[in-house]
Structures are given as structure tokens and as C-alpha cells.
Amino acid sequence: MDQDTRDRIIAAPESLLEDVDVMNALIAANERAMGSNIVDLRGIAMERLAQRLDRLEDTHRTVIAAAYENLAGTNQVHRAILQLLDPLTFEDFLKTLNSDVAPTLRVDCVRLVLESVQGEQDVALRKLGDVLFVAPTGFVGEYISGGKNVPLRPVVLRQVQPTSDVVYGDKAGWIRSEALMKLDFGKGRLPGMLCLGAEDPHQFKSTHGTDLLGFFGGVFERTMRRWLS
């Protein structure tokens, strides 16, 4: 080793200790110098500790990313709820769903399904816009369950079903995943459903959490009760 390099190392030895690549090279050289018939237990322990540290750092980054994502989702839902409270008429309320709420929640389509005894013959409801879909009684439960005899969950996340065409109409061709919120409008009233459709087939998956959407659906449900009364 030339004298200049040696003097620099002696003057600042911590620079070597902080350089991971240099330390790995020195450890590898030390193992080669010991020969193949000697096992360096301390070196093995240090290697395992380094691997554990790498895993801990990866976990830490994952937790931080999840926390930021959850915070962003919470802010989105809060903004959407405030937008629901702004309209002064039911017609404006329905328009807000597609014009303001959909972009805020980053979805491509919003549909409000209301069951009616007259079904699609209820002309008065059909005039309120494309965001509203009027369905016959029993449609909500059948759609959410997919025709299966299973308990209905308040929020269902899934890829679209073949029967989705009837809900999304002309947008059905490019809606690939959906979030469904079952709505209870109170005693004596037929149920409803809020559908959030997304072009991304992975935006809504059954493995995702539903707490925020459950809260949003609860607020939407109570807001609708006021309009219906």
C-alpha cells in the first residue's frame, strides 16, 4: 500500500467502516486468507445480522408506504363526503356524483341503484340522469351476491360480473372492477346500492380493506335518507 493511501486511512478509519462495499471486500479477503478449512462463526453471524437488517429496512419502508397510502385514502374520502353535502337539490346531488365525487375518489364511473316497485317503468326517477339506475325489487341483493345464497356484506370489492352491463350501460365495455356499497334507507323503504366502477381491473380487489369505503357508504346512506324524506 502506498504511503499516501495508508495515511488517509489512518487519519479517517471511520470512512472504511461506513462503506458497506469496502467492508464486504475486506471480510471476503479475510476469509480467503484463513483458508477453506476454517469456519468464521463471527463472519456468518454478521452476515445473518446484515440480512435481518435488510429485511427490517424493507418492512419499515413497506409500513411507511402503507401509512401514507392510508392517509391519502382518508383525505380522498373526506373530500368526497364534503362534496356530497354541498348540493341543495337532489338533481344537483346526483350530478355531483359523477362530476366531483368520481374524480376525487379516482374512479371512472358512479352509479346509484334504487329499487322501485315499478322498476324501469318509473319514468320520474329515470329523468334524474344517467347516474341513477332504477331496478326492480330484489335486484340489489341478487347483484351483490352474484346469484349465490350467501350473506350480503355492506361493501364488496371485485372484478365486474357479466351482469354489470345492465348497471353501467354504455360505459360497461371498459369498466373492469367495482366497489359495491349496500344502502339501507330505513324501515319501509327498498334498499339501494352505490357502485364505483374503475377501468383498472386491480383497483378494487377482494383482498383490499373496506373500512374507508364502509364509512363513505354510511355517510352516503344517511344523506340519501334526507333526500328521500
Q: DSSP readout, 86-143?
A: S-SSHHHHHHHIIIIIHHHHT-SEEEEEEE-TTGGG-HHHHTT-TTEEEE-TTHHHHH
148: domain CATH number is: 3.30.450.40
pLDDT-based confidence at residue 157 (cuts at 50, 70, 90): very high
Q: How many domains does the chain have?
A: 1
User: Do the domain assignments include residue 35?
Assistant: no
User: Do the domain assignments include residue 2?
Assistant: no
Instruction: Find the mean pLDDT for residues 55-79.
Output: 80
Instruction: Find the mean pLDDT for residues 117-141.
Output: 72
The percent of residues in the chain predicted with pLDDT above 90, rounded, is 29
pLDDT-based confidence at residue 184 (cuts at 50, 70, 90): very high
The residues with which 172 forms a beta bridge, in sequence order, are none
- 72 compared with 206, residue with greater pLDDT: 206
Return d(Cα 183, Cα 37) in angstroms, integer: 72
The residues with which 217 forms a beta bridge, in sequence order, are none
Cβ atoms 131, 151 nearer than 8 A? no
Q: What is the pLDDT of residue 223?
A: 92
Instruction: Find the mean pLDDT for residues 207-221.
Output: 90
The answer, yes or no, to whether residue 114 has pLDDT greater than 80, is yes
The answer, yes or no, to whether residue 222 has pLDDT greater than 70, is yes
**Mean pLDDT (the chain, rounded):** 83
Q: What is the pLDDT of residue 2?
A: 83
Closest CA to 182 of 162, 157, 164, 161: 157
Return d(Cα 108, Cα 173) in angstroms, integer: 12
Cβ atoms 196, 187 nearer than 8 A? no
User: Do the domain assignments include residue 37?
Assistant: no
User: Do the domain assignments include residue 158?
Assistant: yes
User: Do the domain assignments include residue 79?
Assistant: no
User: Do the domain assignments include residue 178?
Assistant: yes
Domain region containing 167? 88-228
- 31 compared with 37, residue with greater pLDDT: 31
User: Do the domain assignments include residue 33?
Assistant: no
Of the ranges 107-111, 134-138, 186-190, which is most confident? 107-111
User: Do the domain assignments include residue 216?
Assistant: yes
